[in-house]
Amino acid sequence: MSYENTESNSDSSLDKNPDESISKSTHEKQGVLYIVATPIGNLGDITQRALETLKMADRICAEDTRNTRKLLTHFGIQGDLQALHDHNERFKVEAVKNWLDAGEKIALVSDAGTPLISDPGYHLVSELGELGYNIEPIPGASAIITALSIAGLPTDRFTFEGFLPAKNVGRNKALLANLKEPRTQVYYESSHRIAVTIDAFFEIYGATRKVVLARELTKMYEQVYRGNVAGLQQWISESPMHQKGEFVLMVAGHIEETESDEINSSIEELLKILVDELPVKQAASLAAKITGRKKNELYKQAMDLRD
Ligand code: SAM
């Protein structure tokens, strides 16, 4: 691992190796578009480079200017704020291009976390990137990485699904498509839909899939639920407080059952039904006749099930 130039320097283009020019702009004299991450709750998580960049930027494009004004005021930064949100982004690309052509330094921020991650900025970055403009990341918090870092689910490979569709049909279709996904799955969810989303997981993924729900990360009422879908459904309905705030839902990947796992779980299902209706000895004896398994093994299993 190596760190480069840990001294504060907001003009990070000075830190770059001149040979690393593959993705560098063909518009060397132009300004720079900085993609600046901001905290996801705790203002103490702002980075030094984010503050320096926001201070020196000629303009700051923000998803919600009132919200960003509060952030800037907290850190004593003035900032020329420009609205850039889902509804005006395509139209705003032209204006940002002109500012960059005039050599300006432009910062893009969203309401919280990293821009473009379930937030505006995709059209801007993709269009300006293709045209060869200078675009530099100022990394920081993002709810997905923050949540994964404490989930304890496999993180060597994972999928990010963002928000599920709002309507039942679309949501169920998306979940069905992901049901057999072997990687950890990460979803964003809001307070309005967290309960119905968990109900949908119960319906499609079943009760026992392992899940971790991270609520209000880095904020005063941060909570993390670890368990399975049925337990989470119960936890969410226990208190209206559990449904408030912002959520990252992480679901363990599907584990393919081997043929023998499947046979064993079918035998266990059969035994459960028989044990519910019959004395243990009779249940084991019947199960042995049906499955061809040894009676004494099934008897032991039936005793465990009954207990
Ligand atoms: N750009 C942001 C990022 O980098 O994480 C995400 C913006 S997206 C519009 C907002 C969603 O992110 C919330 O509905 C929630 O799912 C998740 N989120 C943001 N902040 C969070 C927090 N403090 N705790 C849990 N989830 C959070």
Torsion of CA 239, 241, 244, 250, to 10 degrees: -60
Q: What is the pLDDT of residue 14?
A: 44
Is residue 27 very low, low, confident or very high in pLDDT (cuts 50, 70, 90)? Answer: low
Q: Domain ends where: 80, 106, 141?
A: 141
42 lines ligand 1 (CB under 6 A): no
Best residue for ligand 1 mutational test, from 40, 117, 163 (most atoms within 8 Å of Cβ): 40
> Is residue 171's pLDDT more than 50?
yes
Is residue 19 very low, low, confident or very high in pLDDT (cuts 50, 70, 90)? Answer: very low
Q: What is the pLDDT of residue 107?
A: 98
Mean pLDDT of the chain: 91
Is 7 a domain residue?
A: no
Same domain, 24 and 101: yes
Is 3 a domain residue?
A: no
Whole-prediction pTM: 0.81
CA dihedral (126, 128, 134, 137) positive or negative: negative
- Which phi and psi (to 5°) does residue 199 adopt? -60, -40
Q: What is the pLDDT of residue 266?
A: 83
Domain containing 279 equals: 259-306
Write the single-letter amino acid at 178: N
CA dihedral (115, 118, 119, 123) positive or negative: positive
Q: What is the pLDDT of residues 247-275, one digit of tens each?
A: 999 999 999 877 677 778 888 888 889 99
Token readout for 127 is 């269009």
Q: Are 62 and 82 in contact (CB under 8 A)?
A: yes
133 lines ligand 1 (CB under 6 A): no
32 lines ligand 1 (CB under 6 A): no
Is residue 212 very low, low, confident or very high in pLDDT (cuts 50, 70, 90)? Answer: very high
Considering its fold, how many domains does the chain have in total?
Answer: 3
Element (H, E) at 243: none
DSSP-assigned letter for residue 292: -
214 lines ligand 1 (CB under 6 A): yes
Nearest residue (by CA) to ligand 1, atom 23, is 217
> Is residue 12's pLDDT more than 60?
no
> Is residue 296's pLDDT more than 50?
yes
> Is residue 276's pLDDT more than 50?
yes
- State the first-to-last Cα distance of the chain, in angstroms, to the nearest integer: 54
Same domain, 36 and 82: yes
Same domain, 125 and 28: yes
> Is residue 24's pLDDT more than 90?
no
